[in-house]
Amino acid sequence: MKRIAVDAVAACKGSQYPAPYDQPCRERVRCALGARAGLTDFGVNRLELPPGSWSSQRHWHRAEDEFVWVLSGQVVLVTDEGEELLQAGDCAGFKAGERNAHHLQNRSAQLAVLLEIGSRRPLQDAVEYPDIDLRWADEHYLHRDGADY
């Protein structure tokens, strides 16, 4: 059987960001649906953002495309270009290598549920976080000067 019982997929709460950068993402809940299906070329996650939580720190990827689709609720998409409200049925995409840092914030009083889809190229990818002293490269977090966390 290939059906994925979403409720049976282990949920991961919070993030792996070093403190204090983990704070806005502590309440997010992510279920790795693509991993459960054995997918290796791209990832598919169900993301729950409770009120007040963020999807991530604002970032952009050098080698991985990203796509989000709001299934329920609403979020604010924050990019270098400004802010935009995304509601159920809305989606957005981010091309690898485009230096337009982005993230989603749930500023509403209701839970927001999204589908995240993205490339899986961890060995080729690097992630830049322009608002904070953080980078991702070689599969771990670094300070902007290259020192390990």
The arithmetic mean of pLDDT across residues 120-135, rounded, is: 95
The arithmetic mean of pLDDT across residues 83-105, rounded, is: 98
Task: With residue 36 as reference, give the H or E element that holds it.
Answer: helix 33-36
The yes-or-no verdict on residue 122 having pLDDT over 80 is yes
Per-residue pLDDT reduced to its tens digit, 39-50: 999 999 999 999
The arithmetic mean of pLDDT across residues 124-138, rounded, is: 96
The yes-or-no verdict on residue 120 having pLDDT over 80 is yes
The predicted structure's pLDDT at residue 44 = 97
**Where do the domains of the chain lie, and which CATH numbers do they carry?**
27-142 (2.60.120.10)
At 2, is the pLDDT very low, low, confident or very high (cuts 50, 70, 90)?
confident
Contact 86, 77 (CB under 8 A): yes
Q: Count the neighbouring beta carbons within 10 Å of the beta carbon of residue 70.
A: 23
The yes-or-no verdict on residue 61 having pLDDT over 80 is yes
Beta bridge partners of 79: 82, 102
Task: Give residues with Cβ within 8 angstroms of 11, minimum separation 6.
Answer: 29, 30, 31
Distance between CA atoms of residues 125 and 102, nearest Å = 16
Percent of the chain with pLDDT over 70: 99
- Average pLDDT of the chain? 96
Write down the pTM of the prediction: 0.94
The arithmetic mean of pLDDT across residues 110-124, rounded, is: 96
Q: Which residue has the tokens 């309440």?
A: 27
The arithmetic mean of pLDDT across residues 16-33, rounded, is: 97
The arithmetic mean of pLDDT across residues 89-106, rounded, is: 98
What are the b/e assignments for 30-60, b being 16+ CB within 10 Å?
bbbbbeeeeeeeebbbbbbbeeebbbbbbbb
Tokens of 23: 């704070």
The predicted structure's pLDDT at residue 7 = 86
- Among 115, 136, 7, 122, residue whose Cα is nearest residue 70: 115
- Taking the CA atoms of residue 4, residue 44, residue 28 and residue 17 in that order, the dihedral angle to the nearest 10 degrees is 130
